């Protein structure tokens, strides 16, 4: 009896010592809740149990398994990246280049791309080993069109349009958050306004958003913006003008006009927003300099059609003329040194170097005609990804200041030493906080954080992520506003940011003072029309779930 009582006492004592109200307690931080742009920073403690925030108040005293002293730090909801090139997430599951910026949710399949079969993609991610950040997906128009029409340069037949609409509807049921288009790219560039409206209607009816890589971002920018707004109006779907910018020296300053178009449309009740990366260079394929009609017929990146058209002198002259025009007026920026190679399979040694460097290395004058020839040679040898230094700082700042602009990276998941990525892959979010908030004072810290958290969460219809509140998922980032900065540059991109000492995904520390932890706590988030088809009994209707 005596022994039992003693045993009981020690057991009770042990329980008292190890009993913890929270798995994680974050103390003394200045909390930005994400609820609105005007939410002031308030000093408060945050208690986390499992994957949720369970307490939010000053001076929480209950015991915790682990306590972080966040004095001097800002505690924000984890950042949401609305334009994330996570096509390689199945290979780069850690996704450190996103996580270490504080990004806890990535929205994939932008620009009309990514796999059309979302169910296969998300099942693969969920069943084999996990992944770092939470992931959500759009359904890409280019993928849908390719599946039904290949690379045909024409409008769809009624049957083809119906088949594309069915694919969009299926993807929405599989959890897509909306439709993305890349109207500058193949084969989206072959689609007309009515086709996009028809597909956007399907996504809109099912609660989705429409995010548009505009048909033109250079000389045709105004037309591109007007088209996207009109698509939103006719399809009755919220629109995001993604990675909004004005490309090419001739268009610098045009953001004044595009933002006015957005304001006018919003005043008419059309729901238009934007996202943006904080850099004066874009990154996309080399092929963007080639007229799309010349590369029609592409399959798997190899165009025998392009080579054949070049053999015809009349067609070749036309192709060369249009490439020269694009180098002078559009993404080429009128100067071969503005075109920098990011990934170039044929000449990997040129990664980081410019088109001018390539010309000089071949003892050629770095002129536009030389550039035309190199573009053609590069494309015939498998193409390349380039960084185009063709944006004006003035436009970047003006777009950033607009209250309807959110922050998004357009970055590809990157790993140190691989290729020569645009620095946005590592630095988008910290660069906004360090360069544009602290140094230039373009926007306030609260404005910046809202553009990265609550605002995109609201856009996606999320109520339990993007905010710090009791019951919300514990996706959090702790940052030091005095030191947060991007370290990735155009010359030397493979650097993680500084001033972001803690990143938490679903209640688990993905990054802390001891470094990165490969916990892969990310989850697939499902969009507004996600349905689980219950296998038994057959007659039962699909169950709708509200958790996304
Ligand atoms: Zn993109």
CA of 110 to the centre of ligand 1 (A): 6
pLDDT tens digits in sequence order for the chain, 548 residues long:
445 556 555 555 444 445 689 999 999 999 999 999 998 999 999 999 999 999 999 999 999 999 999 999 999 999 999 999 999 999 999 999 999 999 999 999 999 999 999 999 999 999 888 999 999 999 999 999 999 999 889 999 999 999 999 999 999 999 999 999 999 888 999 999 999 999 999 999 999 999 999 998 989 999 999 999 999 999 999 999 999 999 999 999 999 999 999 999 999 999 999 999 999 999 999 999 999 899 887 765 667 789 999 999 999 999 999 999 999 998 888 899 999 999 999 999 999 999 999 999 999 999 999 999 999 999 999 999 999 999 999 999 999 999 999 999 999 999 998 889 999 999 999 999 999 999 999 999 999 999 999 999 999 999 999 999 999 999 999 999 999 999 999 999 999 999 999 999 999 999 999 999 999 999 999 999 998 754 444 444 444 433 33
Instruction: State the DSSP code for 342.
Output: E
CA of 111 to the centre of ligand 1 (A): 5
- What does the pLDDT read at residue 531? 84
CA of 210 to the centre of ligand 1 (A): 14
Domain boundaries in the chain? Answer: 77-280+391-516, 299-388
The 3-state DSSP class for residue 485 equals strand
The 3-state DSSP class for residue 384 equals coil
- What does the pLDDT read at residue 333? 86
CATH, range 77-280+391-516: 3.20.20.140
CA of 235 to the centre of ligand 1 (A): 23
> Which residue(s) pair with 385 in the sheet?
285, 343
CA of 386 to the centre of ligand 1 (A): 13
The 3-state DSSP class for residue 162 equals helix
CA of 525 to the centre of ligand 1 (A): 20
The token pair at 314 is 């009349």
Residue 62: alpha-carbon gap to chain centroid: 38
CA of 213 to the centre of ligand 1 (A): 8
CA of 166 to the centre of ligand 1 (A): 25
pTM, rounded to two decimals? 0.91
Neighbouring C-alpha atoms within 13 Å toward the C-beta of 177: 26
Instruction: List the one residue out of 125, 223, 122, 118 whose CA is nearest residue 180.
Output: 118
d(C-alpha 354, C-alpha 351), whole Å: 8
- What does the pLDDT read at residue 151? 87
Residues 233/269, Cβ–Cβ less than 8 Å: no
CA of 185 to the centre of ligand 1 (A): 11
Residues 112/143, Cβ–Cβ less than 8 Å: yes
CA of 243 to the centre of ligand 1 (A): 8
CA of 222 to the centre of ligand 1 (A): 20
- What does the pLDDT read at residue 186? 86
Please list the alpha-helical segments (H only) found in 296-382.
Answer: 304-311, 313-329, 355-361, 368-380
CA of 408 to the centre of ligand 1 (A): 10
d(C-alpha 517, C-alpha 94), whole Å: 9
Cα–Cα distances in angstroms (integers) from residue 490 to residues 282, 409, 497, 529, 543, in the given order: 11, 15, 14, 40, 48
């Amino acid at each position: 009896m005596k022994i039992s009582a003693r045993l009981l006492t020690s057991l009770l004592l042990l329980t008292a010592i190890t009993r913890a109200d929270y798995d994680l307690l974050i103390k003394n931080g200045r909390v930005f809740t994400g609820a609105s742009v005007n939410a002031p920073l308030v000093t408060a403690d945050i208690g986390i149990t499992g994957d949720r925030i369970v307490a939010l108040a000053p001076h929480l005293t209950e015991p915790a398994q682990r306590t972080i002293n966040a004095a001097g730090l800002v505690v924000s909801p984890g950042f949401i990246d609305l334009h994330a090139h996570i096509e390689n997430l199945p290979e780069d599951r850690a996704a450190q280049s996103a996580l270490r910026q504080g990004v806890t949710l990535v929205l994939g399949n932008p620009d009309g791309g990514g796999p059309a079969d979302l169910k296969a993609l998300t099942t693969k991610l969920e069943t084999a080993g996990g992944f770092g950040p939470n992931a959500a997906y759009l359904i890409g128009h280019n993928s849908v069109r390719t599946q039904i029409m290949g690379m045909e340069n024409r409008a769809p037949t009624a049957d083809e349009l119906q088949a594309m609409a069915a694919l969009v509807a299926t993807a929405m049921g599989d959890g897509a958050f909306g439709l993305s288009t890349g109207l500058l790219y193949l084969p989206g560039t072959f689609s007309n306004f009515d086709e996009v409206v028809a597909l956007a209607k399907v996504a809109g009816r099912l609660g989705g958003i429409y995010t548009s890589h505009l048909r033109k971002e250079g000389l045709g920018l105004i037309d591109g913006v007007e088209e996207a707004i009109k698509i939103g109006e006719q399809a009755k779907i919220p629109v995001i003008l993604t990675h909004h910018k004005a490309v090419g020296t001739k268009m610098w300053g045009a953001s004044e006009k595009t933002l006015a178009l957005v304001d006018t449309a919003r005043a008419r009740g059309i729901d238009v927003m934007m996202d943006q990366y904080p850099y004066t260079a874009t990154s996309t394929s080399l092929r963007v300099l080639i007229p799309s009609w010349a590369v029609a017929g592409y399959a798997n990146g190899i165009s025998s059609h392009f080579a054949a058209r070049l053999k015809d002198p009349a067609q070749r002259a036309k192709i060369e003329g249009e490439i020269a025009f694009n180098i002078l007026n559009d993404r080429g920026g009128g100067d071969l040194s503005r075109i920098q190679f990011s990934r170039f399979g044929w000449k990997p040694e040129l990664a980081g170097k410019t088109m001018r460097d390539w010309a000089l290395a071949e003892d050629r004058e770095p002129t536009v005609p030389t550039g035309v020839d190199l573009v053609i040679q590069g494309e015939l040898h498998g193409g390349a990804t380039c960084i185009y230094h063709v944006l004006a700082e003035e436009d970047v700042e003006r777009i950033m200041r607009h209250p309807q602009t959110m922050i998004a990276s357009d970055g590809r998941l990157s790993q140190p030493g691989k290729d020569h990525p645009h620095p946005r892959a590592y630095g988008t979010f910290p660069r906004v906080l360090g360069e544009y908030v602290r140094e230039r004072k373009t926007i306030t810290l609260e404005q910046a954080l809202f553009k990265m958290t609550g605002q995109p969460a609201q856009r996606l219809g999320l109520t339990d992520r993007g905010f710090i509140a009791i019951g919300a998922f514990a996706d959090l980032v702790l940052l030091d506003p005095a030191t947060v900065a991007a370290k990735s540059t155009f010359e030397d991109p493979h650097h993680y940011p500084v001033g972001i000492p803690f990143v938490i995904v679903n209640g688990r520390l993905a990054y802390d003072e001891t470094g990165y932890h490969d916990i892969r706590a990310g989850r697939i988030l499902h969009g507004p029309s996600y349905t689980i088809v219950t296998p038994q009994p057959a007659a039962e209707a699909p169950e709708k779930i509200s958790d996304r």
